[in-house]
Amino acid sequence: SKHFSFVPHVQRSTRLLRAIAVVCVLALPAPAECFSCVVGGAVRWQCWGICGQLQSRYVTKTGRSSKFGHWRAATYRHDSDALRKASKEQPSKQDDMDASILLKACKARGDLPQHLAIIMDGNRRYATSQGKPSTFGHLQGKKRLEQVIQWVMVELGIPHLTVYALSLDNLRKRSSAELAYLTELMAIGLEELAGHPTLRAKRIQVKVAGCLDDLPVRLQEAAARVEQSSAPSLGDQPGGVLTVCVGYSGRSEILHACKTLAADIAHGRIDEEAVTEAALEARLYTAGAPSPDLVIRTSGEARISNFMLWQLAYSELVFVGATWPEFGAQVLAGALDEFAHRSRRFGS
């Protein structure tokens, strides 16, 4: 009985520690996990349950924390090491095997586009459907892009892939907290592409298109590194081109091309008679790439949202209901099958 007389004291201590955890969750910029790590040991697990319950309240109050799979709490202070760890979680081998079988059938059928463009939409909608903050959706979207690059450029052998990652409107209208997280995640993704062994082996060149001067310096530097590291050797042709559109606007791209063309005329570099569609195309962000044969937009929206306005003149459009993080091999195969059964007329 003497031993059990200590139980109320232990319970009071536990309640006190939980109360301290609550205060830390609501008052500190760092997530609850940081505090529980400091407390350590068994007390960490005592704090953990209540910290998890308060996570959504913390998100609402501060807008700076979210849950990512095994990485239980991440902040908009964008810890790069933690983001890298969270983004490296891989799909199961069975999922990879199923996707591979499906894509082999698509490749065997033929009639694949030579240039596929994707408007990656629905990260935030997906996160909401899962009861999680937008940062969770962006992380899952990054993982999905890594898979799709592998499927499209490696397994299917489609030589040109263009993805709409961040619009100029997003850059100007999203909250600073979300953009800080999102641009850091993109910078990490570009750095990973720069050292990707499969892309190197396939000689796939990575280009970043958009109003790059409007991007944070960290993202500009990551873009410059991946372009430099993946550029083909002099006189060599790339095995494929992956274009990532960041801070992109179709109208701004056309305006930029027109201004460049006007400057070339004013300085006598070209004659007015030389102003043709080809001359304008040569001054677009995507100069040198063929126009997309197929454009896929996810998340059920049926619009192009200022994406590649010049280049999509004769592109086939497919709109799918799945959000971008849900864009699996079966959805991709369905869109490719739809493309294969269309009759392209190019205005005739």
Report whether 64 contacts 75 (CB < 8 A).
yes
Please choose, from the candidates 19, 30, 37, the residue with its C-alpha nearest in 3D space to the C-alpha of residue 58: 30
At residue 246's C-alpha, the angle toward residues 161 and 174, to 5°, is 135
Tokens encoding 100: 């591979």
> Are the beta carbons of 291 and 314 closer than 8 angstroms?
yes
Under DSSP, the state recorded for 154 is I
Distance CA(213)–CA(210), nearest Å, equals 9
∠ CA 16-19-21, rounded to 5°: 115
Q: Which 3 state secondary structure label does DSSP give 219?
A: helix
Of the residues 123, 170, 213, 264, which is catalytic?
170
Query: Is 306 in the active site?
Result: no
Q: Phi, psi at residue 236, to the nearest 5°?
A: -100, 150
- Which one is catalytic: 79, 95, 111, 121? 121
Q: How far is it, in rounded angstroms, from Cα 4 to Cα 15?
A: 18
Q: How many CA atoms lie within 13 A of 175 on its CB side?
A: 9
Evaluate whether 311 touches 292 at the Cβ level (below 8 Å).
Answer: yes
- CB-CB contact of 58 with 12 (8 Å): no
User: Does the active-site annotation cover 121?
Assistant: yes
Enzyme catalytic residues: 121, 170
